[in-house]
Structure 1
Amino acid sequence: MHTPTPYPIRPRRVSFDWRDTPLHWIPDEPVATHVINVLHLLLPAGERWFVKVFKEALPLVTDPELLGDVKGFMGQEATHSVQHSYVLDHLAEQGLDTHPYTRHVDWMFDVLLGDEPPAGLPLSRREWLRFRLSLIAAIEQFTAVLGDWILRADGLDRADPDAVMLDLLRWHGAEEVEHRAVAFDMYQHAGGSGLPRYLRRVYGMAVTAPVLLWLWAFGAAYLIRHDPQLRGRLGYTLREHNKAVRKGLLPTWGELGAAIPRYLRRSYHPSQEGSLRNAVAYLATSPAARAAAGAVARAAVS
């Protein structure tokens, strides 16, 4: 059953100026910087794929309120994809080329999870669409958890990070909390019914969790290995990662892991994740979101 958002979900046409953002935007914390930077590697292709799959599923939506939320979700995800792509351009300008990694991410979303089942898998087009919707719902479980974490991450504030990067992450995180239930509701609406729908949801999480962990570890290792300022003096290790966790610069393993059993409860709904109040409060104060809202208001009266 769809749980309507208390107000319309709409994209905010934000922009960010990266000219003064250093490569290590958390000072003296290259591991934490690059673990978070993996978002920029995954999200441009991933969120374009979300939009593409949802476009395919739109004709299946018969609930007008859900349809409005889905279209708002698609607008937000498209904006996220564009803004994280600009960060990749900024990293390249600083001597960190991400193309050798992101081309594999592009292949995963465009080919492996494309319009047709890979390797001739005997799945109907309807079942392949339902499976991909289950993957998006599972991914959005983690983005909601990460979004809520970034809004509460006092450790990042104490580390004096680059203000523009922190605003990008918190604007994005706040929108993830804002639309936390849309992908789940879309799957529940278009993913069939009864036990098969639930089992497909479980399978979607069973695929998503280990793949995300693998992509994140290899992404962080790639960024650290190719960081021109480190020149191979540091590697990505669990020990270094956990040091950043203890400083409050990264979410704990417990926070991330606990998201899985919550999601697998038959009675679960993502409206239980995070604080919508905190998300809305940040969006009201975010420099980028405020600037975007001002631009819309000026255009409306001109």
Structure 2
Amino acid sequence: MPRPTAPTTVHDSLVLEPRDVRFDWSQLPLHWIPDEPMATHTINVLHLLLPEGERWFVKVFKDALPMIRDDQLREEVLGFIGQEAIHAEAHQEVLDHLLGQGLDPRPYVRQVTWLFRRILGDKPGLTPAQRRENIIERVAFVAAIEHFTAFLGNWALNSPGLDRAKADPTMLDLLRWHGAEEVEHRSVAFDLMVHLDPGYLRRVRGMLISGPLLVHLWARGARFLLAADPTLEGRIKPTWREAQVNGRRGLLPQPGRMARSALRYFRPGYHPTQEGSSSQALSYLATSPAARAAAS
């Protein structure tokens, strides 16, 4: 079994700052990419998954804090927790706005909540050794999911197709602010996993479970939103072919590129700093309207 190489120390001066952003959704149209309901709702799945998912990230990392033996990593994990908590609330506001526009996301969200709280949540009756193992396993799931969120964040920062399509600027700022922070903290979950268990098998298992689950949830969420959209009356159904077309147009991440990114995670020498650009992420955060307003 191959062993991963030790990650290069690249974050000696990394300070993760939770930015308490606010967005005004009062003018957000239901199809915020004009005349593109499928692309709109495919991205809207993030608003269904992320509030409960990121609250779960926060819970898992809080459980892992007493197990961390490195002061710098502990500070990064605390910053990660702060950023993810704000991400969850920002996306929750979009869900509330969708409900006000006649699209009820609650049936799907209830299923997501059940998954994260009952299936991936705490297991009662574990011994201390079993509880430690359960926490490390869930950290590995988070690390794999964070690989995808960093990929999506990097895509959002480099998606001129959304600008060409005249996507709503407030939603674009949310996606790019969130994406920039995902790129900024892309190494934290992976570094925590390696700190708790440097074994290659743990990483592989985390991706083999989390990757297909995430794809399934996203496809199911897109079907749900298109079916629940009161303006469509069930006329549009998502297909992989349409996803590929929208990917080539720059309205969605290209499925093939996402798959190749997932495969890179299995390389023994992989480290998240090989994906995306911290300088680009920080440059966007310096200009993001929401982040600048929060800083002032």
> How does the TM-score come out when normalised to structure 2?
0.94
| Structure 2 CA distance for aligned equivalents of residues 140 and 98 of structure 1 | 24
Q: Which residue of 1 aligns with 2:142?
A: 136
Aligned positions of 1:212-227 closer than 5 A: 212-227=214-229
| Structure 2 CA distance for aligned equivalents of residues 248 and 124 of structure 1 | 45
Q: Which residue of 1 aligns with 2:266?
A: 264
Deviations 1:170-223 (A, max 9, x none): 000000000000000011112x34xxx210110110001110110000000000
Q: Which residue of 2 aligns with 1:299?
A: none
Q: Which residue of 1 aligns with 2:4?
A: none
Aligned partner of residue 231 in structure 2, secondary structure? coil
- The correspondence for 2:54, drawn from 43, 47, 53, is 47
Aligned positions of 1:1-302 closer than 5 A: 1=7, 3-4=10-11, 6-116=13-123, 124-190=130-196, 192-193=197-198, 197-294=199-296
Q: Tell me the amino acid that sits aligned with residue 166 of structure 2.
A: D
Q: Tell me the amino acid that sits aligned with residue 208 of structure 1.
A: S
RMSD (Å), alpha carbons: 1.5
Cα contact 1:5–1:69 (8 A) shared by 2 = no
Cα contact 1:117–1:128 (8 A) shared by 2 = no
Q: Tell me the amino acid that sits aligned with residue 145 of structure 1.
A: F
Q: Which residue of 2 aligns with 1:300?
A: none
> How does the TM-score come out when normalised to structure 1?
0.92
Gaps of 5+ in 2: 1-6
Cα contact 2:243–2:255 (8 A) shared by 1 = no
Give runs of ≥4 in structure 1 deviating > 6 Å: none
Q: Tell me the amino acid that sits aligned with residue 227 of structure 1.
A: D
| Structure 2 CA distance for aligned equivalents of residues 236 and 133 of structure 1 | 32
Deviations 1:9-65 (A, max 9, x none): 110000000000000000000000000000000000000000000000001111111
Structure-2 change in CA distance of 1:69 and 1:163 (3 Å): same
Shift of 1:247: 1.2
Q: Tell me the amino acid that sits aligned with residue 224 of structure 1.
A: L
Deviations 1:152-186 (A, max 9, x none): 00111100010100000000000000000000001
Cα contact 2:243–2:254 (8 A) shared by 1 = no
Shift of 1:117: 7.3
Structure-2 change in CA distance of 1:131 and 1:7 (3 Å): closer
Shift of 1:5: 5.5
Shift of 1:246: 2.1
Shift of 1:260: 1.8
Deviations 1:210-241 (A, max 9, x none): 10110000000000001011111211122322
| Structure 1 CA distance for aligned equivalents of residues 14 and 133 of structure 2 | 32
What is the percent sequence identity of the aligned residues? 57
Q: Tell me the amino acid that sits aligned with residue 27 of structure 2.
A: D
Gaps of 5+ in 1: 295-302
Cα contact 2:153–2:176 (8 A) shared by 1 = yes
| Structure 1 CA distance for aligned equivalents of residues 165 and 148 of structure 2 | 24
Aligned partner of residue 130 in structure 1, secondary structure? helix
